[in-house]
Chain A
Amino acid sequence: MAVEEAVMEPGSVGRHAQGQRIPVPRASSVGPGPAPGAARLEAVDVSAWFGDTQVLDDVSLSVPPASVTALIGPSGCGKSTFLRILNRMHESVLGAKLAGEVLLDGDDIYAPGHRLTDVRRQIGMVFQKPNPFPAMSIADNVAAGLALTSTKVSKADRAELVESNLIRAGLWDEVKDRLSRPGAALSGGQQQRLCIARALAVQPKVLLMDEPCSALDPTSTRRIEDTIAELRSQVTIVIVTHNMQQAARVSEQAAFFLAEQGTPGAIVESGPTDDIFNNPRDPRTADYVHGRFG
């Protein structure tokens, strides 16, 4: 079956591999300019390679808007790679290739005519290791996304933006008196919340989180999980996590990735979190969820 590479015409009806129909909305929603509100994200038959090694095989996942989806599975099965495909970070690695489509509100972000920088502004990412810009103050860090996309804001607006996003990230109270201190002069958990604030400041429709708490202490982890719960209605969130309890606490939908020895990773099972954990259909899912491997 050939891969559909053509851009879907607005108003037409597309198909993905299993034959289901998906309507395509008329207006393009991937473009410059803020368009607030969580978006639906859909991965269709995504495969990925590094050089000649295939690491993902025909992964399809539908992420409903304003929800939290967890990607779980043992290490090395392609969860992070899949996540990075969702905001076009995968192709920045030398030798990286992919197939399939990623639809943001029905629009394939990989279609020609879509600017990389716009895609990434609409689909933000928080990384495993907190990476605030050390040469900038806390306030400048939050506003860094605006500077990078040359969005002009007045001074008053900027201050308000910094404050509101720090509040959203749950960091405002701790740093409101020291906004001009360097961004790296914070604890690990605070740095990660700063990164979340920075990612939120450009008003993405989707926020991808790659094991955001794995380098943090339990208290910070708790704070961030609370933040995720609060953000759920404003941004669609996809979170990769090794911590199954965290996935159970935080997400409504989960997808279990697995890569058997020598084969590329794929989704074994996906669905509502409750089902995955309490009533899995696949024996491998049951094994993983009950801690028998990985």
Chain B
Amino acid sequence: MSATTTLEGVATLEEHADAPGGAAQAPGGDAVEASGGSPEAPKSPPVAKRRPRRVRALTLDDWLSLGGSVLASFALLYVGYLHLLDLSGTVGFLVCWYFVFLAVYGVVVAIANPRHIVVERLVAATLYLVAALVIFALASTVVYTFVEGWPAFRHLNFFTHDMAGVSTSAPLSQGGILHAIVGTLIMVGIAVVVAVPLGIGTAVYMTEVRGPGSHLIRTVVEAMTALSDILAGLFVYALLVVGFGLGKTGLAAAIAIAVTMLPLVARASEVALRIVPGSLRQASEALGATHWKTTWKVVLPSARAGLVTAGILAIARGIGETAVVLVTTGATSFFNANPVSEPMTSLPLFIFTAYQTHQPEALKRGFGAASVLLAMVLLLFVVARWIVRDKSGGERSRLLIVQRLFVRNVDDGETEQ
């Protein structure tokens, strides 16, 4: 997985490396003051400050062409599709609408514009639609899950009871998923404690230490991202559960989850660490820092955004593991907080077994559990975004941080600006 930080054309601003990024283009202009708070005598008699002007890439003609084409194609299709060709189905209508719209829009744009503009408009329209389609699919998944899961949420016992002694077809006022929630938290917690340090440590070894065998490790780790989750589960089952006779426990599932997480964390962390510019490492070493100090105090904090993202994605993946848990521990209906004995169920497994019963009440509980699962993932994402929120400061300020970390006795007058 890639880190989610992006560089927005900062490379072109050689003179303004610290320009605050992410400021939205404000039409009509904000109050314009030169930044840098210290008051200085103005170099010329005060002139009324200019306001930025709105610069548009698209003209009124462009918007009208677009709107008109949308309406025209819809009208055309409405007549043709329903009445002339006597077809039916929403999906078909939408697909045909897209093609008719392209044709109409293409013709309209071609009236006043050269060919490369026509191509550009059609491509842009298509890409906007693709993005809308994918976002819509994602949104429908999230919304549908929450809508279907809402009935279960209205009962408090859903969160506080387990299913011991409650039949699967019992109404929602009985039973709950407490055991599944706890199971998920325990399993994923153990897996994270195992996989994340190992993964980041491996990444550090591959990028910072670069010792012997790091190339081999990288190849093997990349290969292991190919490991389907069911195979990791099968491995743990065959080796630990059956082979070593440890039985189906939560710990077995946690280990299997850790195995699937590990290559992801290692790979994503490696990418995050590689992106840290070499100049930071060199600056730190030039100040006399040991390799360990450089890594711990400079490189890792700089890569924090990518590392956190890697960790969050791995956790989200671990939370959603179904097949692994299915294979290494069993679905249970009773509460079990002990990972080393007795099977332990998790939310995804609970959902799956609920689905298998094909009973409406059980399905409602299943959707409720799915909603809880989805809410967990969403929460993780919000946390991740908050942690990596953009703190302004380009490379220059990062180098200053390196200086301040290591050089304590320096007199401010001597530090180079």
Contact = CB atoms under 8 A, between A and B. Distances in A.
Contacts of B36: 262
Interface in B42-84: 43, 47-48, 50-53, 55-57, 59-61
A38 to B, nearest CB: 24
B16 interface: yes
Contacts of B47: 58
Given A94-B9, A115-B117, A117-B116, A50 B19 contact: yes
Interface in A75-118: 75-78, 80-81, 84, 88, 91-100, 110, 112-113, 115-117
Interface string A12-29: 000000000000000000
Nearest to B19: A50
Interface residues of A, number: 46
A117 B402 CA distance: 44
Contact of B50 (A55, A75, A80, A100): A100
B20 A53 contact: yes
B50 A47 contact: yes
B35 interface: yes
A51 B32 contact: no
Interface stretch (B22-30, B163-171, B303-311): B22-30
A150 B57 contact: no
A78 B55 contact: no
A163 interface: no
A243 interface: no
A150 B43 contact: no
A243 to B, nearest CB: 17
A52 B51 contact: no
Size band of the interface chain B makes with A: 35 or more
B21 interface: yes
Interface in A33-89: 45, 47, 49-55, 58, 75-78, 80-81, 84, 88
Interface secondary structure of A, over-half rule: loop
A264 interface: yes
B392 to A, nearest CB: 9
A53 B19 contact: yes
Interface string B1-28: 0000000110011111001111111100
Contacts of B116: 117, 148-150
Nearest to A78: B15
A156 interface: no
A117 B22 CA distance: 25
A117 B8 CA distance: 21
Contacts of B30: 52
Q: Among A55, A92, A94, A117, which residue has the most Cβ atoms of chain B within 10 A?
A: A94
25 contacts: A1-B48, A32-B114, A50-B20, A51-B21, A52-B20, A53-B34, A54-B32, A54-B33, A75-B15, A76-B14, A77-B15, A91-B57, A92-B9, A95-B19, A95-B20, A96-B25, A97-B29, A97-B52, A98-B52, A99-B53, A112-B59, A149-B116, A150-B114, A263-B34, A263-B40
- List the 4 closest pairs (A to B, CB-CB), nearest first: A51-B23, A97-B52, A150-B116, A76-B15
Interface of B: 8-9, 12-16, 19-26, 29-30, 32-36, 38, 40, 43, 47-48, 50-53, 55-57, 59-61, 114-117, 119
